[in-house]
Structure 1
Amino acid sequence: MKIAQIQSHVYSEKMENLEQLEVRLRELDGQKPDLVMLGEMFCCPYETSLFPSYAEDEGGPVWSRLSSLAREHSIYLAAGSVSERDEAGKVYNTAYVFDRDGRQIAKHRKVHMFDIQVEGGQHFRESETLTPGDACTVFDTEFGKIGLCICFDFRFPELARRMVLEGARLILVPAAFNMTTGPAHWELMFRSRAVDNQCFVAGTSCARDMQANYVAWGHTLLVSPWGDVIEEMGEEEGVIVNTIDLSYADKVRRELPLLSARREEVYG
């Protein structure tokens, strides 16, 4: 399975981000990726006050463009996350996945709200404008089952473990760590989850923009079930492309049987 992770700049004009994506996908055509992944809120500046104004219904202009691009390039498109509004007017941080025919095959609404106050560091409250989702998301592909969550969700080991118990051998995490949490926990967290769950983990961020109100850490990365960093970017715009074999997760689980050796009666 060839996976491409796009670390893009976020423009304030929503559809300009889709135009940028279209250029990147044309550039990737020659490498024939199976799955292309984007970052969290890749077409909306990461600011709580802006999420409602950028929000669209499922099936809106952004959704439609993403579906068309997946079909045009015959890829699985894990379209980072976008601001979604439901029929009741609630706003969510939502990740859509489209198959090679442009059909939506997965949808994850961020479950855990990023509400933090780090002394001398980052302050952010997603719950000011966003509503949490309530589902664990795993979807099927020709390569096997893949899990999906968004950024702060991945800090909760219970959710990652549930995805793996439901069959995921790769977990996709569009994310936007910042200049406080990124240096401290980004690589540490992704490697820890990969080792604990013996699965591939792909964390995709948007590029760093020092002029933005919220400055992303960047450092898009891909980690193996053994905890090795297969590739990691810096803070700049770009793309990494890697070929992985999901059966390697099965090999690691056979040789170091963490999942099958669990003692749930002890854990309570």
Structure 2
Amino acid sequence: MKIGVVQINVGMDKEANIARLDRQVRRLAADGCDIVFLPEMAMALTGKPAALQAAAEAEDGAYVTAMKALAKECGINLHLGSFMERRGDRFLNTSLVFDRQGECIGRYSKLHRFDIDLPDGTAIRESDVVDRGDAITVVDIEGLKVALTICYDLRFPELFRALVDLGADLITVPAAFTFQTGADHWEVLLRARAIETECYIAAPGQVGGFDDGKYLNFGHSMIIDPWGTVVGQASNGEGVASAVIDRDYIQTVRARIPLRKHRVLPLA
């Protein structure tokens, strides 16, 4: 099975964002990818809470509808990264997964909200914008168990452990990782999660600046194998990366270092 990750620079022009995503998804589909993963907030991105909420869409909105049709037309499984979802009177940072027929086969809303202070003093409070999700998700995509996380979830290994307990073979981490934290933490955290879970990691990220350069995304979208080796990586601009998932290699790594048999905690 071949997978691909899309790396783009998103602003608040949703039609333009959809058009650029369309081009990159078609590029990966033409290259033979079975599953394509998009970044976090691929529909629209701003650091202004009111504007982001105003851009929110329901599941039957223009963004999801366009991506659903794209999955069906290209005959691929498509993970929508995430988008600002309006669900009744709630706002959620939500991922959806569509199969080759354009049918939704999985959803996940971000559990851990990014409330931090960057080294330069910039404060980011995702909890001012979105509600917290309340469930974890593993989706069966043609026999491959794909677990869903979003960005800041990466820093919580207990979530990844729980996803492994549900049978995950690949864990996706769509992100809009800040440049300041990404330069120091992005690759090391992704590789650590791959090593400790013995899963593939697919991490599509946003790249470049938004809000007139006030915020800068790190990019460096990656695909990492269960041994922790980076097997696919995008450049520093918009683009794609792809890799072949070797299901036998997952079992080889797990047999080589049988973490599941050796776990002791929590102590009985």
Counterpart residue number, 1:219: 220
Q: What one-letter code is carried by the residue in structure 1 that aligns with 2:80? A: A
Q: Are residues 1:244 and 2:245 paired?
A: yes
Native 8 Å contact 1:7 1:239 kept in 2? yes
Give the aligned length. Answer: 266
Q: Are residues 1:255 and 2:267 paired?
A: no
Counterpart residue number, 1:134: 134
Q: Which 10-residue stretch deviates more, 41-50 or 150-159?
A: 41-50
> 1:140: how far off?
0.7
Q: What one-letter code is carried by the residue in structure 2 that aligns with 1:238? A: G
Q: Are residues 1:196 and 2:180 paired?
A: no
For residues 61-111 of structure 1, what are the alpha-carbon distances to aligned partners after superposition, in whole Å with 9 as ceiling and x for unaligned?
A: 211111111111011101111000111x11111111101110111111010
Counterpart residue number, 2:83: 82
Rate the CA distance shift 1:189–1:46 in 2: closer, same or farther, 3 A: farther
SS in 2 for 1:59: coil
Q: What one-letter code is carried by the residue in structure 2 that aligns with 1:241? A: S
Q: Are residues 1:206 and 2:199 paired?
A: no
Tell me which stretches of 4 or more aligned residues in structure 1 moved more than 4 Å.
Answer: none
Q: What one-letter code is carried by the residue in structure 2 that aligns with 1:263? A: V
Counterpart residue number, 1:229: 230
For residues 168-205 of structure 1, what are the alpha-carbon distances to aligned partners after superposition, in whole Å with 9 as ceiling and x for unaligned?
A: 11001101111210011000100000111111111110
Native 8 Å contact 1:48 1:125 kept in 2? no
Native 8 Å contact 1:145 1:170 kept in 2? yes
TM-score by length of 2: 0.94
SS in 2 for 1:264: coil
Unpaired stretches in structure 2, ≥5 consecutive residues: none
Native 8 Å contact 2:40 2:174 kept in 1? yes
Correspondences of 1:1-268 after superposition (within 5 Å)? 1-49=1-49, 50-87=51-88, 89-209=89-209, 211-266=212-267
Q: What one-letter code is carried by the residue in structure 2 that aligns with 1:231? A: G
Q: Which 10-residue stretch deviates more, 208-217 or 246-255?
A: 208-217
> 1:17: how far off?
1.1
TM-score by length of 1: 0.94
> 1:32: how far off?
1.8
Q: What one-letter code is carried by the residue in structure 1 that aligns with 2:247? A: L
For residues 197 and 97 of structure 2, the distance between their equivalents in structure 1, rounded to whole angstroms, comes to 22
SS in 1 for 2:209: coil
SS in 2 for 1:208: strand
> 1:122: how far off?
4.0
Q: Which 10-residue stretch deviates more, 115-124 or 243-252?
A: 115-124
> 1:115: how far off?
0.2
Report the aligned-residue RMSD. Answer: 1.5
Q: Which 10-residue stretch deviates more, 156-165 or 247-256?
A: 247-256
For residues 105-136 of structure 1, what are the alpha-carbon distances to aligned partners after superposition, in whole Å with 9 as ceiling and x for unaligned?
A: 11110101100013434420001121010111
Native 8 Å contact 2:94 2:108 kept in 1? yes
